[in-house]
Amino acid sequence: MVPATLGVRQVINIKSCLPRELLIWREVKSNMYCVKCRAKREGKNKEDVTMKNGKKAMRAVCEVCGTKMFKIVGNA
């Protein structure tokens, strides 16, 4: 919801002024999806990886069932 004092364009400009690292960290902080449990989980043994196309991703293991989880974080 946009406050009445700010227009949509101003809110977009505020978001674009944030450093890229903060935006990526916000994505990294969110949970990963476990396909086997069908739920969002935090994951353990997290590691950062770079895919062949140069995008950053995270790999982890589900703490409940032990299935590998993978999440694409963003561009390098």
Within a domain: 30: yes
**Domain membership flag for residue 2:** no
Domain region containing 48:
8-74
Instruction: Note whether residue 70 is domain-resident.
Output: yes
20-29 own/partner pairs: CB under 8 Å, 24+ apart? 23/74, 24/56, 24/73, 24/74, 27/73, 27/74, 28/58, 28/73
Instruction: Please report whether residue 3 resides in a domain.
Output: no
Domain for residue 1, yes or no? no
Confirm whether 37 is domain-assigned: yes
Provide the number of structural domains found in the chain. Answer: 1
pLDDT tens sequence for the chain (76 residues): 555 555 444 444 445 555 555 445 444 556 899 999 999 998 999 999 999 999 999 999 999 999 999 999 888 6
Predicted structure pTM score = 0.57
Q: Is 49 a domain residue?
A: yes
Domain annotation covers residue 32:
yes
